[in-house]
């Protein structure tokens, strides 16, 4: 093939190049006919435009004119578009659509033209997306923490000069717990109390779980040996409570005051009859409740354990978490955390009732030998530190010395004997002398318990020795130890010698 020669054009039929039959006869054949052909094309163009306009009006759409090819050399074909019936578009303009004015577009939309409906949908989607991106930029800010936000979607209180109020935080109301006055969320003020009998034989120490109790009662059980009853607000939070021992009838009276579940391992005949007669919530390790206890190291019967987890299971399995009685709560005040305030109280409060209140920091009860009781006041922590039998009383669960926020010493009449084994009988219903100690102050007053189920209350003693039964003595929020002392055991409350 000669690359320098001018390539020949294909002889394509006119009908395939988009010309009508009338146009074919008028198509120029050589350059000398250009002028006449242009004039004829212009005339035909006007005729075609008129026909197209009539067709568009009839169909409801007025099409705009397509740009015409520039007339040039004789070899250039002039391209026109016929909008009449049966007309065919050229290959170069086949993909182009006629443009419309706004009014024409809306007219098409009203008639349900598909392309107009699709356009409207696209426009709406674009507006929604644009609005959402604008809101995100306003509300969420940037990851750089600029003045539009923190990058986490939270609104600042002031966004570009506009004050935006944050929703008010939900504040859960707080209330004092009935058993110890500790402040807890509303709804947790009266969990089912659980009382556990704990042995104090010198050979079984250290004890486990006494520090976590809200109230601990201590008195003699038999042959001069003392025993504890630890009362928990609910199941407590103790990995182990030990060693669990047998019931005594006077401990049952204190358990009845708060309708406590009573956990024990057997008991004296009198105690077991009392449990049955008064339908206590009984948790006897030597009976049906055995699965809530286990035997640990040491010799029986001094190696019986339970735990808060086991107590919680007992509460659940016996349906003891349901409605409970509303027992009488003691009167509690806030802890005067400021040491200076406590020092001021030591000066001002004794001045009100000099005969019955004293600045004291030592409490001693002469149970004797390995069972002697001693509390010393720690002003820095505002607690009473406990000694048991002349040694620091350690709780195995914490590894620390046991402390009490309040110490109450209650005098009762001499004990009797239940049997030849030395088990005692004690009268804890009635009234008598008492001392309540907290915040480094001990107040002499009176205790009163009207019946087996009524709460033991503490009252002020007047300067003349009479009891003011209208004024209950107040305690400080926290745990309380109640030492019940039969006559003739000694009670000493004094200021520690410097």
Block residue for tokens 């004119």: 65
Q: For 377, phi and psi rounded to 5 degrees?
A: -85, 130
Does residue 280 have a pLDDT over 60?
A: yes
Calculate what percentage of the chain has a pLDDT beyond 70: 62
Question: How confident is the model at residue 105, as a pLDDT?
Answer: 52
Q: What is the pLDDT of residue 127?
A: 74
pLDDT at 479 over 50: yes
What are the tokens at 336? 């005067």
Average pLDDT over residues 283-305: 96
Which of these ranges, 2-6, 181-185, 223-227, 441-445, has the smallest mean pLDDT? 2-6
Is the pLDDT assigned to residue 298 strictly greater than 70? yes
| Whole-number pLDDT of residue 106 | 55
Checking if the pLDDT of 50 tops 50, the result is: yes
pLDDT band, residue 170 (cuts 50/70/90): low
Give the pLDDT band of residue 460 (cuts 50, 70, 90).
Answer: confident
Please, which residues bridge with residue 231 across strands?
Answer: 195, 215
Note the pTM of the prediction, 2 decimals.
0.66
- Per-residue pLDDT, averaged over 368-377, amounts to 96
| pLDDT higher than threshold 80 for residue 301 | yes
Neighbouring CB atoms inside 10 A of 321's CB total 13
Task: Please name the residue that has the structure tokens 């005949």.
Answer: 269
Q: Does the pLDDT at position 240 exceed 80?
A: yes
- What local confidence, expressed as pLDDT, does residue 223 receive? 86
In whole angstroms, give the CA distance from residue 197 to residue 334. Answer: 30
Residue range 176-317 forms a domain whose CATH class is: alpha beta
pLDDT band at 27 (very low <50, low <70, confident <90, very high): very low
Give just the sign of the alpha carbon dihedral 56, 60, 61, 62. positive
pLDDT over 90 (residue 347):
no
Q: Does the CA dihedral 282-287-288-293 come out positive or negative?
A: positive
Domain ranges of the chain: 53-63+99-142, 176-317, 331-494
At 389, the pLDDT band (50, 70, 90 cuts) reads very high
Residue range 357-385: mean pLDDT, rounded: 90
More confident residue, 418 or 200: 200
Q: Is the pLDDT of residue 440 over 70?
A: yes
Scan for tokens 């009276």, then name that residue.
253
296-308 b/e (C-beta count within 10 Å ≥ 16 → b): eeeeebeebbbbb
Q: Judge whether residue 454 has pLDDT over 70.
A: yes
The architecture in CATH of the region 331-494 reads 3-Layer(bba) Sandwich (3.50)
SS3 per-residue string spanning the chain: CCCCCCCCCCCCCHHHHCCCHHHHHHCCCCHHHHHHHHHHHHHHHHHHHHHHHHHHHHHCCCCCCCCCCCCCCCCCCCCCCCCCCCCCCCCCCCCCCCCCCHHHHHHHHHCCCHHHHHHHHHHHHHHHHHHHHHHHHHHHCCCCCCCCCCCCCCCCCEECCEECCCCCCCCCCEEECCCCCCEEECCCCCCCEEEEEEECCHHHCCEECCCCCCEEEEEEEECCEEEEEEEEECCCCCCCEECECCECHHHHHHHHHCCCEEEECCECHHHHHHHHHCCCEEEECCCCCHHHCEECCCCCCCCEEECHHHHHHHHHHCCCCCCCCCCCCCEEECCCCCHHHHHHHHHHHHHHCCCCEEECCEEEECCCHHHCEEEEEECCCCEEEEEECCEECEECCCCEECEECEEEEEEECCCEECCCCCEEECCCCEEEEEEEEECCEEEEEEEEECCCCCCCEEEEECCCCCEEEEEECEEECCCEEEEEEECCCCEEEECCCC
Stretch 484-494: mean pLDDT, rounded? 95
| 332 has pLDDT over 50 | yes
Q: Which residue has the higher pLDDT, 387 or 118?
A: 387
Q: Is the pLDDT of residue 319 over 50?
A: yes
**Does the pLDDT at position 483 exceed 60?**
yes
- CA 40 vs. chain centroid, Å, equals 91
Q: Which of 62-66, 212-216, 479-483 has the lowest mean pLDDT?
A: 62-66
Q: Is residue 335 over pLDDT 70?
A: yes
Between CA 478 and CA 377 the distance in angstroms is: 15
- Say if residue 472's pLDDT is above 60: yes
Mean pLDDT in the chain?
Answer: 77
Give the whole-number percent of the chain exceeding pLDDT 90: 52
pLDDT of residue 467: 77
What is the tens place of the pLDDT at every residue in 214-235?
Answer: 999 999 999 899 999 999 999 9
- pLDDT category at 135 given cuts 50, 70, 90 is low
What confidence tens digit (pLDDT) does each residue in 73-127 have?
444 344 334 334 344 444 444 444 444 555 565 555 555 555 556 666 777 777 7
Please say if the pLDDT value at position 353 is more than 50: no
pLDDT at 113: 55
């Amino acid at each position: 093939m000669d690359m320098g020669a001018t390539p020949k054009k294909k002889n394509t039929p006119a009908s395939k190049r988009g010309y009508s039959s009338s146009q074919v006869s008028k198509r120029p054949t050589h350059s000398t006919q250009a002028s006449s052909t242009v004039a004829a094309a212009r005339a035909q163009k006007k005729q075609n435009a008129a026909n197209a306009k009539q067709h568009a009006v009839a169909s409801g759409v007025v099409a705009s004119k397509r740009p015409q090819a520039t007339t040039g050399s004789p070899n250039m074909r002039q391209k026109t578009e016929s909008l009449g019936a049966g007309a065919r578009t050229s290959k170069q303009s086949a993909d182009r659509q006629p443009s419309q004015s706004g009014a024409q577009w809306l007219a098409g939309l009203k008639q349900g033209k598909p392309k107009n409906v699709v356009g409207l949908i696209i426009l709406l989607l674009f507006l929604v997306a644009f609005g959402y991106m604008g809101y995100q930029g306003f509300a969420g800010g940037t990851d750089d923490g600029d003045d539009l936000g923190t990058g986490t979607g939270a609104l600042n209180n002031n966004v570009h000069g506009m004050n935006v109020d944050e929703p008010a935080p939900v504040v859960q109301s707080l209330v004092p717990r009935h058993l110890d006055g500790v402040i807890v969320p509303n709804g947790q003020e009266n969990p089912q109390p659980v009382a556990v009998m704990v042995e104090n034989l010198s050979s079984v120490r250290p004890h486990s779980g006494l520090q976590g109790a809200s109230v601990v009662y201590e008195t003699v059980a038999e042959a001069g040996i003392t025993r504890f009853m630890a009362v928990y607000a609910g199941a407590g939070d103790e990995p182990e409570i030990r060693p669990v021992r047998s019931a005594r009838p006077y401990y049952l009276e204190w358990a009845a005051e708060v309708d406590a579940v009573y956990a024990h391992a057997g008991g004296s005949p009198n105690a077991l009859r009392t449990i049955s007669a008064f339908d206590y919530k009984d948790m006897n390790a030597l009976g049906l409740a055995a699965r809530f206890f286990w035997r640990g190291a040491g010799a029986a019967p001094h190696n019986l354990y339970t735990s808060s987890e086991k107590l919680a299971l007992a509460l659940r399995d016996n349906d003891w978490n349901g409605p409970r009685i509303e027992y009488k709560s003691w009167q509690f005040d806030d802890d005067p955390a400021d040491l200076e305030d406590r020092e001021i109280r030591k000066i001002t409060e004794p001045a009100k009732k000099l005969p019955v209140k004293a600045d004291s920091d030592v409490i001693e009860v002469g149970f004797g030998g390995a069972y002697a009781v001693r509390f010393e006041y720690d002003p820095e922590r505002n607690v009473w530190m406990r000694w048991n039998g002349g040694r620091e009383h350690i709780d195995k669960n914490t590894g620390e010395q046991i402390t009490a926020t309040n110490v109450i010493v209650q005098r009762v009449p001499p004990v009797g004997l239940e049997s030849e084994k030395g088990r005692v009988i004690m009268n804890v219903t009635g009234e008598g002398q008492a001392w309540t100690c907290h915040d480094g102050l001990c107040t002499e007053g009176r205790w009163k318990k009207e019946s087996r189920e009524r709460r033991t209350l503490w009252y002020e003693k007047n300067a003349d020795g009479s009891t003011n039964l209208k004024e209950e003595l107040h305690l400080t929020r926290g745990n309380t130890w109640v030492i019940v002392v039969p006559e003739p055991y000694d009670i000493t409350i004094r200021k520690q010698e410097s």
